[in-house]
Structure 1
Protein backbone atom coordinates (compact mmCIF):
# COMPACT_ATOMS: atom_id res chain seq x y z
CA UNK A 1 0.00 0.00 0.00
CA UNK A 2 1.29 3.49 -0.90
CA UNK A 3 0.97 6.12 1.83
CA UNK A 4 1.99 9.76 2.30
CA UNK A 5 3.25 11.88 5.16
CA UNK A 6 2.82 15.66 4.81
CA UNK A 7 4.99 18.21 6.60
CA UNK A 8 4.25 21.96 6.76
CA UNK A 9 6.28 24.61 8.62
CA UNK A 10 6.98 28.34 8.59
CA UNK A 11 10.72 27.73 9.05
CA UNK A 12 12.79 25.47 6.82
CA UNK A 13 14.88 24.19 9.75
CA UNK A 14 11.72 22.87 11.47
CA UNK A 15 10.76 21.06 8.27
CA UNK A 16 14.23 19.59 7.93
CA UNK A 17 14.34 18.39 11.53
CA UNK A 18 10.91 16.75 11.45
CA UNK A 19 11.49 15.09 8.08
CA UNK A 20 14.86 13.72 9.19
CA UNK A 21 13.26 12.29 12.31
CA UNK A 22 10.55 10.60 10.20
CA UNK A 23 13.03 9.30 7.62
CA UNK A 24 15.29 7.81 10.31
CA UNK A 25 12.63 5.19 11.02
CA UNK A 26 11.66 4.56 7.40
CA UNK A 27 13.38 1.72 5.56
CA UNK A 28 14.86 3.48 2.53
CA UNK A 29 13.69 0.64 0.27
CA UNK A 30 10.13 1.78 1.07
CA UNK A 31 10.76 5.40 0.03
CA UNK A 32 9.07 6.21 -3.29
CA UNK A 33 9.51 9.99 -3.63
CA UNK A 34 9.68 13.33 -1.81
CA UNK A 35 7.87 16.41 -3.11
CA UNK A 36 8.97 19.82 -1.81
CA UNK A 37 7.30 23.23 -2.06
CA UNK A 38 7.88 26.77 -0.82
CA UNK A 39 5.21 29.44 -0.80
CA UNK A 40 5.48 33.05 0.32
CA UNK A 41 2.92 35.79 0.74
CA UNK A 42 2.84 39.31 2.07
CA UNK A 43 0.97 39.48 5.40
CA UNK A 44 1.26 43.26 5.58
CA UNK A 45 3.76 45.91 4.48
CA UNK A 46 6.38 44.71 6.97
CA UNK A 47 5.91 40.96 7.20
CA UNK A 48 6.30 38.24 4.60
CA UNK A 49 5.10 34.76 5.54
CA UNK A 50 6.79 31.60 4.24
CA UNK A 51 5.41 28.10 4.08
CA UNK A 52 7.87 25.23 3.62
CA UNK A 53 6.14 21.94 2.91
CA UNK A 54 7.03 18.46 1.78
CA UNK A 55 5.26 15.20 1.11
CA UNK A 56 6.98 11.87 1.57
CA UNK A 57 5.51 9.08 -0.52
CA UNK A 58 6.33 5.60 0.75
CA UNK A 59 5.25 1.99 0.80
CA UNK A 60 3.68 0.80 4.06
Structure 2
Protein backbone atom coordinates (compact mmCIF):
# COMPACT_ATOMS: atom_id res chain seq x y z
CA UNK A 1 0.00 0.00 0.00
CA UNK A 2 2.88 2.36 0.70
CA UNK A 3 4.12 1.93 -2.87
CA UNK A 4 0.84 3.30 -4.17
CA UNK A 5 2.25 6.71 -5.02
CA UNK A 6 5.77 5.61 -5.92
CA UNK A 7 6.95 6.95 -9.28
CA UNK A 8 7.93 4.37 -11.86
CA UNK A 9 11.48 4.37 -13.11
CA UNK A 10 12.30 5.00 -16.76
CA UNK A 11 13.17 1.31 -17.15
CA UNK A 12 9.77 0.24 -15.79
CA UNK A 13 7.95 2.61 -18.13
CA UNK A 14 9.93 1.42 -21.15
CA UNK A 15 9.43 -2.24 -20.19
CA UNK A 16 5.66 -1.74 -20.04
CA UNK A 17 5.72 0.01 -23.45
CA UNK A 18 7.85 -2.82 -24.90
CA UNK A 19 5.44 -5.49 -23.69
CA UNK A 20 2.44 -3.56 -25.08
CA UNK A 21 4.08 -3.18 -28.50
CA UNK A 22 4.97 -6.88 -28.64
CA UNK A 23 1.38 -7.84 -27.82
CA UNK A 24 0.04 -5.48 -30.50
CA UNK A 25 2.57 -6.88 -32.96
CA UNK A 26 1.45 -10.42 -32.27
CA UNK A 27 -2.23 -9.53 -32.58
CA UNK A 28 -1.71 -7.61 -35.84
CA UNK A 29 0.44 -10.35 -37.37
CA UNK A 30 -2.69 -12.48 -37.64
CA UNK A 31 -4.60 -9.94 -39.75
CA UNK A 32 -2.13 -7.45 -41.24
CA UNK A 33 1.43 -8.68 -41.44
CA UNK A 34 2.93 -5.34 -42.52
CA UNK A 35 1.47 -3.45 -39.55
CA UNK A 36 2.53 -6.28 -37.25
CA UNK A 37 6.09 -6.00 -38.53
CA UNK A 38 6.03 -2.22 -37.96
CA UNK A 39 4.93 -2.71 -34.34
CA UNK A 40 7.67 -5.30 -33.88
CA UNK A 41 10.25 -2.83 -35.20
CA UNK A 42 8.97 -0.21 -32.73
CA UNK A 43 9.28 -2.75 -29.92
CA UNK A 44 12.88 -3.46 -30.91
CA UNK A 45 13.69 0.27 -30.76
CA UNK A 46 12.26 0.43 -27.23
CA UNK A 47 14.32 -2.63 -26.29
CA UNK A 48 17.46 -0.85 -27.49
CA UNK A 49 16.55 2.10 -25.25
CA UNK A 50 16.11 -0.26 -22.28
CA UNK A 51 19.49 -1.88 -22.92
CA UNK A 52 21.15 1.55 -23.21
CA UNK A 53 20.00 2.57 -19.74
CA UNK A 54 22.63 2.36 -17.02
CA UNK A 55 22.19 -0.69 -14.81
CA UNK A 56 21.33 -0.36 -11.14
CA UNK A 57 23.67 -2.30 -8.83
Same fold (TM over 0.5): no
**Greater strand share, 1 or 2?**
1
- What TM-score do you get using the length of structure 1 for normalisation? 0.33
- What TM-score do you get using the length of structure 2 for normalisation? 0.34
**Greater helix share, 1 or 2?**
2
**Greater relative contact order structure (CA < 8 Å, 6+ sep):** 1
